Homo-oligomer: A and B are copies of this chain.
C-alpha cells in the first residue's frame, strides 16, 4: 500500500468514527505548517492503527482510547473521542464505567476531570440533536 492509499484509508475511518463535521473543521484550513501533522494523524493513527479492524474492533479501540486519553489528561481529545466512542457503539453507561475505572487506577482527580469533560460532550451532542430535531 502506498502512503497516499494509507492516508485515504485513514481519512475514511476517521470520518466514520469522529464524524464529518469534526473532520471537516480539523482539515478546513490546510497550510504547510499543519500539513505534516494531518498526514501523520491520518496515515499512522487512523490508517495504520485503526485500520487493524480485524485484529480489534472499533468499539474495543474506543474503550482503550477513552481510558488512555483520560489518564493523559488531554481534555480536547477526550471530548472528541467521546463522540467517537458513541459512534462506535459504546453506550453512555459504558463510557461512565471506563471513567470510574480510570478513577481507581489513575486517581480520583483524573476521574472527576474526565466526568466533567464527558458531560460537556454529551450536552453538546444533545443540543445538536435538539437543534436538528427542531428543523
Contact = CB atoms under 8 A, between A and B. Distances in A.
Given A40-B48, A67-B64, A93-B55, A76 B112 contact: yes
Interface residues of A, number: 57
B109 A69 contact: yes
Contacts of A11: none
A65 B105 contact: yes
Given A34-B115, A63-B64, A107-B72, A56 B2 contact: no
A74 B117 CA distance: 13
Contacts of A49: 100-101, 104
Contacts of A77: 109, 112-113
A37 B109 contact: no
B6 A113 contact: no
Nearest to A102: B68
B105 A69 contact: yes
Given A3-B6, A37-B99, A67-B67, 7 more contacts: A33-B119, A44-B108, A55-B97, A56-B94, A64-B102, A67-B68, A72-B110
B1 A41 contact: no
Interface in A27-76: 33-34, 36-37, 40-41, 43-45, 48-49, 52, 55-56, 60-61, 63-65, 67-69, 71-74, 76
